[in-house]
Structure 1
Amino acid sequence: MVLQRLLLALINRAQLVERLAESKAIRRAAQLTAFAVIKGRLAGKQASARLRDSDTARMMREEARRMPQSAADAAQTVSRIRNTFMKEVKEGMREANRQIKDRK
């Protein structure tokens, strides 16, 4: 309670806030925060693009439109989706390993 009042009193002083904003530590913290937000946003866009372009997602959408005629058809469909998914996981792992090696 006392700490909260003290912080509010300090924040409400414009001169103090200005001096803090001009300090190297606060500016650096703001830069790092902006960098993290931008990197996170970029990673999210890339992940959504990969998912959108994914063969597995495309196959699942196509198969959802069609109803299987029998249990054998359903089993084949599941098998195809599983194989495609495994192929994409392996490709993703290879790509991640390649990126890690390139950074070194």
Structure 2
Amino acid sequence: MVLRIILRYLLHNEQLVQKLSESYPIRRSAQLVAYIFLRGKEKGLESIEKLKDHDSVSPKRLQSFTKTFQEKLQEGIREWKQKNP
């Protein structure tokens, strides 16, 4: 309870907040947080682009697989018919 009152007083003290914001550790931590945030955002956007590219390739791959499967199936049926007239 007492800690909460002290923290509230310190955080509402404009001069203290100003001095803290100008200190090196606070500025550096803010820079690191901004860097991590922007880096994460960039990686997220790259991942979304990769997923979009992957989705556009999938139908082509599926069609290719289906076509090859049908050809091999027909070839197998022909061979089976030749062996078993």
Q: TM-score, normalised by structure 2?
A: 0.65
Match of 1:24 in 2: 24
C-alpha displacement of 1:17: 0.4
Aligned-residue CA RMSD (Å):
1.7
Given the alignment of the two structures, is residue 49 of structure 1 paired with residue 52 of structure 2, yes or no? Answer: no
C-alpha displacement of 1:13: 0.6
Identity of aligned residues (%): 36
Larger radius of gyration: 2
Q: Trace 1:1-104 onto structure 2 (pairs within 5 A).
A: 1-54=1-54, 57-58=55-56, 59=58
Greater CA drift, 28-37 or 3-12: 3-12
Corresponding residue pairs, total: 61
* Ranges of 4+ aligned residues in structure 1 off by more than 3 Å: none
Gaps of 5+ in 2: 70-85
**CA distance in 2: counterparts of 1:9 and 1:33, whole angstroms:** 26
C-alpha displacement of 1:4: 1.4
